[in-house]
Amino acid sequence: MKIRVGVFFGGKSVEHEVSIISALQACNSINKDKYEVIPVYITKNNEMYVGEKIGNIASYRNLKSLLKESRRVILVNDGGKVQLVLYPGKRFGNNVYATIDVAFPIVHGTNVEDGVFQGYLQTIGVPYVGCDVISSAVGMDKYVMKTVFKDNGIPVLDGTVIHISDYAKDADAVKADIKAKIAYPLIVKPINLGSSVGIMIAHNDEQLDEALDNAFTYASKLLVEPAITNLKEINCSVCGDYATAHASECEEPVNTDEILSYKDKYIAGDKGGKSSGMATLKRKIPADISDETREQIRTLAVKAFRSLGASGTSRIDFMIDMDNGNVYLNEINTIPGSLAFYLWEPVGVKYSELLDEMISLALKRERENKALTFSFDTNILDGFTGGKLGGTKGGKL
């Protein structure tokens, strides 16, 4: 009997469209002899839709038409059976669209990749692929992520956090504090976004104003770091869990500006107006680095992955300061664009095999969780009729 996999994508995120591309690539690559795939599209209003056309990328050119021809569902755990139930339901007949064995979130960005969606699945009792709530949340917050890596001896750049309330209260004081801590050039980033959204480099006061205003349109909290001027970016993917993990080949993305932009990642490599997600990015694989540096980065990538308690497949992005050869970990992407399959093929791992390993890891975690105790059967409320409880007299609140 095939394992039924619900692939969830979209959601309320600025990376919504990128998620669609990544997910449908995966849907087409999952081994259909072993898995039955049910694509589930999440709108920007957080409504879930299923249907024949949900798995067809061309259908998303006319979203209104797609939704009209699809069915809205809700996720329900009915006695241990995870079901996609039609909503609103029919008065008569069966309202269960499909039953799934495991959820595969292929979502990017705030509200979906940051532990929020994972928490929803965990609360309902749905086994799911990838990082758990904590590692997803830490992996999304660039500052918290840095502190975890730094505490584990992984080299990162120092940075400072800026809150929108402080900036609104006294912008000049905030900018003065930034410049006292970090010299130009510096880089400004929304603290919880990916795909290079909202990121800008500032070389002077005027550009700092622009960078802060731009980033605050996407997030209420920012991270400011020194900008490496003679920079080489290197990415490496890791697959596994807390027990064991292995690294992919290293890549060197090619950017058209000072930083690797959203356009570089998802648009610049398009042909004929079609997008293939991160697979379109111009890159050198293997990266143009020494064997020693390659092994250093691959080792650091696995160490970072395990220190975060990650699971599934992540992509870890590094920076090399070419002026002194120092290597810094920039960030981890807990659900990378296109799930970073292009980094695994050079080391002999087919995309279908990578997806199979990710699903197997999710089912392993579910088996391990079932062996743990999360609640006790007690009778402490049995017969409670009155008295004081937390300052409340009687049995009523």
Given this model, what pLDDT does residue 197 score?
A: 78
User: Does 301 share its domain with 233?
Assistant: yes
In a domain, 391, yes or no: no
**Domain at 104, CATH number:** 3.40.50.20
Question: What's the rounded mean pLDDT across residues 192-196?
Answer: 69
Cα 18 from Cα 10, distance rounded (Å): 8
User: Does 289 share its domain with 143?
Assistant: yes
User: Does 217 share its domain with 256?
Assistant: no
User: Does 270 share its domain with 346?
Assistant: yes
pLDDT tens digits, 19-54 = 999 999 999 999 999 999 999 999 999 999 999 999
In a domain, 235, yes or no: yes
Report whether pLDDT(177) > 80: yes
In a domain, 287, yes or no: yes
Determine the number of helices (DSSP H) and then strands (DSSP E) in the chain: 11, 18
User: Does 168 share its domain with 143?
Assistant: no
- Is residue 195 part of the annotated active site? The answer reads yes
User: Does 142 share its domain with 263?
Assistant: yes
In a domain, 211, yes or no: yes
Round the average pLDDT of the chain to a whole number and report it: 90
Given this model, what pLDDT does residue 207 score?
A: 97
The structural domain count of the chain equals: 3
**Domain at 263, CATH number:** 3.30.470.20
User: Does 113 share its domain with 141?
Assistant: no
pLDDT tens digits, 317-328 = 999 999 999 999
List the one residue out of 330, 168, 352 whose CA is nearest residue 260.
Answer: 330
In a domain, 374, yes or no: no
Query: Annotated binding residue at 317?
Result: yes
**Domain at 166, CATH number:** 3.30.1490.20
The helix (run of H) or strand (run of E) holding residue 366 is helix 351-370
In percent, how much of the chain has pLDDT > 70? 87
- Is residue 295 part of the annotated active site? The answer reads no
* Domain enclosing residue 5, as ranges: 1-127
| Cβ pair 62, 47 in contact under 8 A | no
User: Does 150 share its domain with 296?
Assistant: yes
User: Does 149 share its domain with 296?
Assistant: yes
- Is residue 65 part of the annotated active site? The answer reads no
Give the helix ranges, DSSP H, for 218-274.
Answer: 262-266
Catalytic member of 19, 22, 59, 195: 195
User: Does 163 share its domain with 219?
Assistant: yes
Cα 119 from Cα 126, distance rounded (Å): 10
In a domain, 377, yes or no: no
Given this model, what pLDDT does residue 272 score?
A: 42
User: Does 1 share its domain with 65?
Assistant: yes
Catalytic member of 15, 113, 233, 249: 15
pLDDT band at residue 371 using 50, 70 and 90 as cut-offs: confident
Report whether pLDDT(261) > 70: no
In a domain, 301, yes or no: yes
Query: Annotated binding residue at 52?
Result: no
Pick the range with the lowest mean pLDDT from 137-146, 188-197, 292-301: 188-197
